[in-house]
Structure 1
Amino acid sequence: MNTDNDVNPIGLIKGLGLNRRQFLAATTGMAAAAATASTVSLAGPAGAAGSPNGLLIPAPRRGIILYTVRDAISRDPSTSPYASGFKAVLEELSRIGYRQIEFAGFNQNVNAPGGNVNSVAGAQLLRTWLDDNGLEAEGNHGSVPSVVTDTTLAAFDAACEVANILGMGHIGTGSDPTNSAYVADWAAAAERWDLLGARAATHGLKLYTHNHDIAYSFLLDSGPLDAQGRPTRSSGIRRLEYFLANTDPKNVFLEMDIYWAHVAKYKHTAYTAADGSTVTSIFDPAAVVAAQTKRFPLFHAKDGKSNPGTANGYDMVPFGTGDIDYATFLRRVGSKGSHNPMWEQDTAPGGTANPGQSLALAKISYDNMAALRG
């Protein structure tokens, strides 16, 4: 048993609520952060957090998920004049003005500085680059166990340790808790996520899931049963609404992808009730957040241009160039300035025809985030 007066038998640093690894990870970045503070302002090029009234996304909270610039992360720097690999891309995003980063895994081109950084040592190197550029990691679209076993829990704990090294406050996934439409599967997912959320909390992290439009479609939870004994109709509750209602708000959180939530508003407009009638029900993304705003610490600030001729009703476009009313949305959700909007555009990479496109769009989107006022 450890008899150090500053550490209790389960390894928590007294007065801080941190385990030893969390404490060491935090202190590792302090010196670099202090040095960076003298040269990199949280204001970035677009102005300080204390900008004029009406600023909806303060400078320190303007973020990006690296999936948007995945082409640049995976690019071979020895064959391209463009920013390539984590180190160069983080430098470029910082220069643009971004201050928050959400990872989408930890793979890069093997010829980029650092090589394979998908490891504890790699996370330590990534943390150095984040600190050097005044960037803060907020989360990661990693893997959340779909089955809880000793092996999957060990892997989850290891992912939490990496998150702590990187200084994240959140750990999550880009997938919905389940792809099923049936209430029994969502009940099982809620039970599993409660367990994992409580476990993430012991690492000082908030566990979050990210939605696509289907997760805001209607849950099959009533009506006649099919041949497998499953319900065929709905009470009108949407899948993620059920999930929120049946998980612990202290341990399970959501990152609303605002684009996909608006696609759900366009697509999922009616359900078949238990009596067989069709009931119209229009989804209101901002109202879902406003009802329990602290359960949505992260957003994907993904914009869409209205296109009724497509299945989704929108085309993905750079932030601020679409038809999603972000000013109204952010005013309605409450806790002004406390959410962390990560710009995402799945279609940003330009391929061989335009290899600089994703970082060029990152600049456009940042400028529009900075200009957004209520």
Structure 2
Amino acid sequence: MKNRRKFIQLSTALGVGAFLPFQFCTPKKENEGTAVTPAIGAAKGTLSAFGLQLYSVKENMAENAVETIKSIAGYGYKQIEGFDGGKGIFWGMKNTEFKSMTDSLGLDFIASHANTFENLEKQAAEAGAIGMKYLICPYIGPQKKMDDFKKFADDFNRIGQVCKDNGLRFAYHNHGYTFMDLEGQVPQDYLLENTDPELVDFEMDIYWVKTAGYDPIQYLQKYPNRFTLGHVKDKDGSIDLTAPNGSTLIGTGTLDFSNILRKGMDNGMKYFIVEQERFEGTNPMEAAEKNANYMKALVF
């Protein structure tokens, strides 16, 4: 594809916001099983299944991915959402080996953040073969012109078709930059309105919507059935709203997840994925356990 922008390097990304995912999906320059029905809710307004974005425990994953995932299962998570930590989304295993391991722990490997601009056909084929639901683009970076976001909308439709052809779906995970006004438009709105719902879904990072100054519920209601996945990440109320590095234990921050997740369900959200990137007075694994306990007790 012509006029392909340069792949955004890690150092650049950290310059625009702390603790952004390492598995970027920005494109390079030119020339360079059985599906599981998600349990979205149970009687009495509680979640019967929820997941963890493994980036929340990235250091532990780097040390020992299998043992970390075993612990996650023990905390009560029923789903996991992966990321590429440098060994691929299957952490050096074959796709079938990784799937067998997670199945043995009672975990559904529902999705993974990935660089969907590289090796897409291979990634989609391997993900679809083991019944994954999604490949997710986690980051494209701030753009200088709306034309850049318009090209991404076209890219997303193309990627979505490849994923659909392989039995899974494609989604884009937002950060705050897509909610920043650019040339009189909100890029997030453009992406939602100019991608094919048959090919492209969105993963709402609730934290980033709030940090950008928007109401997650209003977006869920304005664009029903487009945000099929949600990142459940809380915002520390003791620091400035716009501070990028401000996540905290779920339930101790400013976000009303009981209301937000209820509205999410009502408007087509099927997967609820815990994420935390900042840890004060605890460590990532302890936080993952506490967050699981919160999610198990959450009542809508």
Q: Structure 1-normalised TM-score? A: 0.65
In structure 1, the partner of 2:19 is none
TM-aligned CA distance change 1:92 to 1:175, over 3 Å: same
In structure 2, the partner of 1:64 is 52
Q: C-alpha distance in 2, partners of 1:74/1:186? A: 33
Shift, 1:308, TM fit: 4.8
State the one-letter code of the partner of 1:92: S
Q: C-alpha distance in 1, partners of 2:280/2:166? A: 35
Cα RMSD for the two superposed structures? 2.8
Deviates more, 1:131-140 or 1:162-171: 162-171
Greater CA radius of gyration, 1 or 2? 1
TM-aligned CA distance change 1:317 to 1:219, over 3 Å: same
Decide whether the 8 Å contact of 2:55 with 2:275 is kept in 1: yes
Aligned partner (choices 196, 199, 209) of residue 261 of structure 1: 209
Q: C-alpha distance in 1, partners of 2:147/2:103? A: 44
In structure 1, the partner of 2:121 is 157
TM-aligned CA distance change 1:308 to 1:361, over 3 Å: closer
Shift, 1:310, TM fit: 6.4
The alignment status of 1:213 with 2:176, answered yes or no, reads yes
The alignment status of 1:365 with 2:296, answered yes or no, reads no
Q: Which secondary structure state, in structure 2, belongs to the residue aligned with residue 188 of structure 1?
A: helix
Aligned partner (choices 226, 251, 257) of residue 320 of structure 1: 251
TM-aligned CA distance change 1:194 to 1:337, over 3 Å: closer
Q: C-alpha distance in 2, partners of 1:349/1:167? A: 37
In structure 1, the partner of 2:262 is 331
Q: C-alpha distance in 2, partners of 1:337/1:248? A: 16
Tell me how many residue pairs correspond in the alignment: 266
Q: C-alpha distance in 1, partners of 2:57/2:102? A: 16
Q: C-alpha distance in 2, partners of 1:204/1:246? A: 22
Q: C-alpha distance in 2, partners of 1:181/1:307? A: 32
Aligned partner (choices 120, 125, 131) of residue 167 of structure 1: 131
Shift, 1:292, TM fit: 2.7
The alignment status of 1:93 with 2:84, answered yes or no, reads no
Higher relative CO (Cα under 8 Å, sequence separation at least 6) belongs to 2
Shift, 1:255, TM fit: 0.5
Shift, 1:334, TM fit: 4.4
Decide whether the 8 Å contact of 1:102 with 1:139 is kept in 2: yes
Q: C-alpha distance in 2, partners of 1:308/1:91? A: 34
TM-aligned CA distance change 1:365 to 1:211, over 3 Å: same
TM-aligned CA distance change 1:129 to 1:349, over 3 Å: farther
Aligned partner (choices 129, 137, 143) of residue 101 of structure 2: 129
Q: C-alpha distance in 1, partners of 2:255/2:176? A: 15
State the one-letter code of the partner of 1:261: V
Question: 1:241-293 deviations in whole A, cap 9, x for unaligned?
Answer: 0111111111111111111110001xxxxxxxxxxxxxxxxx32211122233
Question: 1:68-102 deviations in whole A, cap 9, x for unaligned?
Answer: 01111112xxxxxxxxx222112111111101100
In structure 1, the partner of 2:153 is 190
- In the alignment, structure 1 segments of 5+ residues that lack a partner are 1-25, 31-41, 76-84, 109-115, 146-151, 221-233, 266-282
Question: 1:309-337 deviations in whole A, cap 9, x for unaligned?
Answer: 46428721111111111112123334378
Shift, 1:185, TM fit: 1.2
Question: 1:172-223 deviations in whole A, cap 9, x for unaligned?
Answer: 12103x5214221111111111111111111111111111111111121xxx
Runs of 4+ in 1 over 3 A off after TM superposition: 48-51, 116-119, 307-311
State the one-letter code of the partner of 2:66: K
The alignment status of 1:240 with 2:204, answered yes or no, reads no
User: Percent identical across equivalent pairs?
Assistant: 24
State the one-letter code of the partner of 1:71: E
Q: Which secondary structure state, in structure 1, belongs to the residue aligned with residue 71 of structure 2?
A: helix
Decide whether the 8 Å contact of 2:164 with 2:199 is kept in 1: yes
Aligned partner (choices 61, 85, 110) of residue 138 of structure 1: 110
